[in-house]
């Protein structure tokens, strides 16, 4: 899809201006912007609705009522249109998850009925906000709701539908609450095993690249973090390379302390069978003793936050 000029600049500058998409309490307000460029206006909450949760639920269903998706003049003010979308995401997050999912599905259907330039802009905006691994507002669960509509829409070109279908497939893999996909690996000592062979403890998988500055920075953070130090005593620690440059992998194994099992994906199943989303690097997966996913594709800070809570439990 064609990206609107300065699209990513608008996206990430706007994200920094709004609270990140979370479910903390916030009051619904009537946002108005004064500008000479066209600005979308959200639906107003009826005065009879005084409950804040009910107001968010109402807006999840009616937020776009006053916005004509066929009016491409909104594209003259992409910053305002992007900001409007972020406000929408904030409101739907505060309601029931099923309401949010249905709301985003209906929004996607409206977008698909809009002119092509509007459609391209809005779908790019949603993908870069909810699915880009570098987006601080990434929310795969919400994006799956969109993908279910996009991958089934016959009005899209087959190649675009196929792309969305592939995204949907990988997004549904290893979701929290589900058992992690198994694969065979070989460690630095030549021992073969599989992910599900690691039993009796919670398992932390760090997917990494041998010469990845972000991976080295994350490992440095963990090595100097007391929460991780305490939790690591009760964890199976796996550092897994999924690429095909085994020489680089072999050279990188010394970066990890002896407590880590450093391995590579033996048959490259993770990549060829698309078992895991390997776009971000590093990415952390925390599994319970039954290999059920607790954290999917998490950041270092998200991992430490969860480990801090687990450390406080009677037994990790």
pLDDT in tens, 143-179: 999 999 999 999 999 999 999 999 999 999 999 999 9
**What distance in Å separates the CA atoms of residue 312 and residue 55, rounded to the nearest whole number?**
36
Whether residue 96 has pLDDT greater than 90:
no
Amino acid 315: pLDDT: 67
Amino acid 2: pLDDT: 43
Amino acid 56: pLDDT: 84
Q: Which residues pair with 208 in a beta bridge?
A: 241
Residues 6+ apart with CB under 8 A from 11: 82, 125, 128, 129, 135
C-alpha distances out from residue 315 to 125, 178, 200, 233, Å: 43, 22, 12, 12
What percent of the chain stands above pLDDT 70? 88
Whether residue 125 has pLDDT greater than 70:
yes
Whether residue 21 has pLDDT greater than 50:
no
Structure confidence at residue 314 as a pLDDT band (50, 70, 90): confident
pLDDT average, residue stretch 228-242: 95
Structure confidence at residue 97 as a pLDDT band (50, 70, 90): confident
Domain boundaries, the chain: 7-171, 184-311
pLDDT average, residue stretch 201-226: 95
Query: Long-range contacts made by residues 121-128, C-beta under 8 angstroms, separation at least 24?
Result: 121/4, 121/7, 121/75, 121/78, 121/81, 122/69, 122/81, 122/85, 123/1, 123/150, 124/1, 124/3, 124/4, 124/7, 125/7, 125/11, 125/81, 125/82, 125/85, 126/85, 128/7, 128/8, 128/11
Amino acid 134: pLDDT: 85
Cα atoms found within 13 Å of the Cα of residue 143, Cβ hemisphere only: 25
pLDDT average, residue stretch 216-223: 95
pLDDT in tens, 278-306: 888 899 999 999 999 999 998 899 999 99
C-alpha distances out from residue 57 to 67, 86, 221, Å: 18, 16, 40
Indicate the fold that domain 184-311 takes in CATH.
Glutaredoxin (3.40.30)
Amino acid 33: pLDDT: 45
φ/ψ of 313, rounded to 5, equals -80, 155
**What distance in Å separates the CA atoms of residue 266 and residue 242, rounded to the nearest whole number?**
8
Structure confidence at residue 7 as a pLDDT band (50, 70, 90): very low
Instruction: Specify the residue for token string 């950041």.
Output: 299
Predicted TM-score of the model (pTM): 0.81
Amino acid 316: pLDDT: 65
Mean of all residue pLDDT scores within the chain: 88
Amino acid 57: pLDDT: 85
Tokens describing residue 301: 């800070």
Amino acid 95: pLDDT: 74
């Amino acid at each position: 899809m064609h990206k609107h000029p300065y699209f990513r600049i608008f996206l990430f500058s706007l994200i920094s201006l709004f609270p990140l998409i979370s479910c903390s309490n916030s009051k619904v307000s009537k946002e108005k912007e004064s500008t000479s460029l066209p600005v979308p206006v959200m639906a107003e909450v009826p005065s009879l609705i005084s409950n804040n949760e009910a107001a968010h639920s109402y807006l999840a269903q009616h937020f776009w009522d006053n916005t004509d998706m066929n009016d491409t003049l909104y594209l003259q003010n992409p910053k305002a249109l992007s900001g409007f979308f972020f406000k929408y995401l904030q409101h739907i997050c505060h309601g029931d998850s099923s309401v949010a999912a249905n709301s985003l599905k209906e929004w996607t259907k409206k977008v698909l009925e809009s002119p092509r330039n509007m459609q391209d802009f809005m779908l790019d905006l949603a993908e870069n906000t909810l699915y880009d691994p570098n987006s601080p507002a990434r929310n795969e669960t919400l994006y799956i709701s969109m993908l279910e509509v996009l991958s089934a829409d016959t009005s899209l070109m087959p190649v675009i539908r196929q792309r969305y279908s592939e995204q949907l497939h990988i997004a549904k893999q290893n979701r929290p609450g589900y058992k992690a996909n198994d694969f065979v690996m070989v460690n630095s000592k030549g021992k073969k095993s599989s992910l599900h062979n690691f039993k009796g403890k919670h398992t932390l998988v760090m997917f990494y690249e041998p010469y990845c500055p972000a991976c080295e920075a994350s490992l440095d953070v963990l090595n100097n973090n007391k929460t991780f130090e305490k939790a690591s005593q009760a964890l199976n620690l796996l550092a897994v390379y999924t690429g095909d440059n085994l020489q680089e992998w072999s050279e990188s194994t010394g970066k990890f302390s002896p407590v880590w099992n450093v391995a590579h994906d033996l048959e490259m199943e993770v990549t060829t069978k698309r078992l895991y989303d390997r776009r971000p690097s590093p990415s952390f997966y925390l599994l319970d003793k039954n290999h059920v996913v607790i954290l999917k594709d998490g950041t270092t800070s998200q991992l430490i936050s969860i480990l801090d809570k687990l450390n406080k439990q009677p037994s990790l």
